[in-house]
Amino acid sequence: MEEKARFAVGIDVGTNFVRTVLGTVKGEEVSVIGYGEVPTEGMRRGVVKELVPPAKAIDECLAKVEGMSGVKVDRANVGINGAHIGSVKIDGMIAVGVAEHEINEDDIVRIADTAIAGKVPANRETLALVPYEYILDGQGGIREPLGMHGARLELRANVVSALTPDCENLRKVCESAAIEPHGPFEPGVVAAARAVTNSSQRENGVGVVDMGGATTSLAIFDEGELQFVGVIPIGSNDVTKDLATVLATIPDVAEEIKVRFVSAVKGETDRDIVVKRGREEFRFKRKDVEDVVEARLEEIFEGIRKMLTAAGYDRRLPEGLVLCGGGAKLRNIDMFARKQVELAARIAKPSGIIGVSEDILKPEYATAIGLMLGDNERASIDSFDGNNKAKKKQKKPKEGSLFSRIAKLFK
Ligand SMILES: Nc1ncnc2c1ncn2[C@@H]1O[C@H](COP(=O)(O)OP(=O)(O)OP(=O)(O)O)[C@@H](O)[C@H]1O
Ligand SMILES: [Mg+2]
């Protein structure tokens, strides 16, 4: 019998744009059949500041996607963003009984609860738990302890969390837009990693940098697992604002300068920059523009470097950085990144999907595509509620999926 296709949806609620990607999944194949973007208001630095405008933007965006695909969307993997998102390394130990005891699912849930207890403050919501290794009676490096024998079980893991009020507000926005989030919100940059890195890069060590309008986020993967996620509240809109302020021009002209004329590498040419508005002509000295851009980009990459250092990965990522988000479209930003953080750097080109127009194979769609791919993974492993408790019986998770082991924990 032919396998039935199912749908997967990712919604990226950004500061500048809401982006949605809808795919159909048949076996291993994911084809995109609908996508769209709509400018957002009511978001500041990645977090919800007003409830109505972002909900309206999601509504409009879904109308586009539904128009394109003919599919009504009521559930999606929804991304979360903002400097409140963070990850911490945790560990825990439990006694599971006598030496003959066989590790069961209750033990797995209990060790996760014990490890998390007290590590995530009461005003934060746990978004994901990423186990690195289980240690059974002192024997480390165990990835799957279920069914093994032992008396003492230890866990080393990473827990990703976000401020509860910011999650609540995003939930309200989804509710107004009649969207049920499929499980906990996922940090946008973590989702983007699915679309712009492969498993061997995540095994070797890679950093994904989402250069958004108002935020810059970093997700570090090593040994196949998420090691760190962090967000700084500075983004590409700040480059535009600086240009408008220093050059004493309007933001619209500043944006055109940035998008059309700026290179992150200085001194390629010394021709003046000329922007036209109707009959009016605005002329700017190339050096003035480049100095402004350089100063802000340096600040952004210093922030990235601080996060790399905090995570213990400064100059220690063999696969380098993959840059996504609209800000990654600034000309030569990869060269600038390479120089600033002393790592390889490339501009993301989303992959892992078929049947799409070139329209979405762009850095700014990486998050929405990754969320959609994540929705598919979640569909095959089950949905969670906000407290990470499973609602339904799960099917066996796909090996190697980012969520497989988390899913097992909360079965
Ligand atoms: N060609 C380009 N060159 C330089 N910058 C660009 C280009 N195209 C878009 N941008 C910038 O990308 C930014 C928007 O990026 P993006 O759409 O990823 O943001 P967002 O997801 O809405 O915001 P955030 O992730 O911070 O919440 C804007 O600042 C815009 O000026
Ligand atoms: Mg974004």
Q: pLDDT tens across 238-258, in order?
A: 999 999 999 999 999 999 999
What pLDDT is recorded for position 3?
60
Q: Hey, which of 329, 332, 336, 369 would you mutate to test ligand 1's pocket, going by the most ligand atoms within 8 Å of its Cβ?
A: 329
User: What kind of architecture, by CATH, is found in domain 236-295?
Assistant: Alpha-Beta Complex (3.90)
- Give the distance (Å) from ligand 1 centre to CA of residue 109: 40
Q: Where, residue-wise, is CATH 3.90.640.10 in the chain?
A: 236-295
What pLDDT is recorded for position 23?
96
Ligand 1 neighbourhood includes 300 CB (under 6 angstroms): no
Ligand 1 neighbourhood includes 330 CB (under 6 angstroms): yes
Ligand 1 neighbourhood includes 259 CB (under 6 angstroms): yes
pLDDT-above-70 percentage for the chain: 91
Residues flanking ion ligand 2, Cβ below 5 Å: 14, 212
158/119 Cα distance (integer angstroms): 11
What pLDDT is recorded for position 156?
96
325/257 Cα distance (integer angstroms): 19
**Does 404 have pLDDT greater than 70?**
no
Q: Considering the chain, what is the average pLDDT of its residues?
A: 91
Closest atom of ligand 1 to 214 CA is: 26
pLDDT-above-90 percentage for the chain: 84
Q: 86-163+405-409 sits in which CATH class?
A: alpha beta
User: Which tokens is 105 given?
Assistant: 């699912």
**Does 359 have pLDDT greater than 80?**
yes
- Give the distance (Å) from ligand 1 centre to CA of residue 46: 12
Q: Of all protein residues, whose CA lies closest to atom 8 belonging to ligand 1?
A: 326
**Does 399 have pLDDT greater than 60?**
no
- When pLDDT is averaged across residues 104-115 and rounded to a whole number, the result is 93
- When pLDDT is averaged across residues 372-380 and rounded to a whole number, the result is 90
Ligand 1 neighbourhood includes 325 CB (under 6 angstroms): yes
What pLDDT is recorded for position 410?
41
Q: pLDDT tens across 303-336, in order?
A: 999 999 999 999 999 999 999 999 999 999 999 9
Q: Where, residue-wise, is CATH 3.30.1490.110 in the chain?
A: 86-163+405-409
205/170 Cα distance (integer angstroms): 31
pLDDT category at 104 given cuts 50, 70, 90 is very high
What pLDDT is recorded for position 384?
35
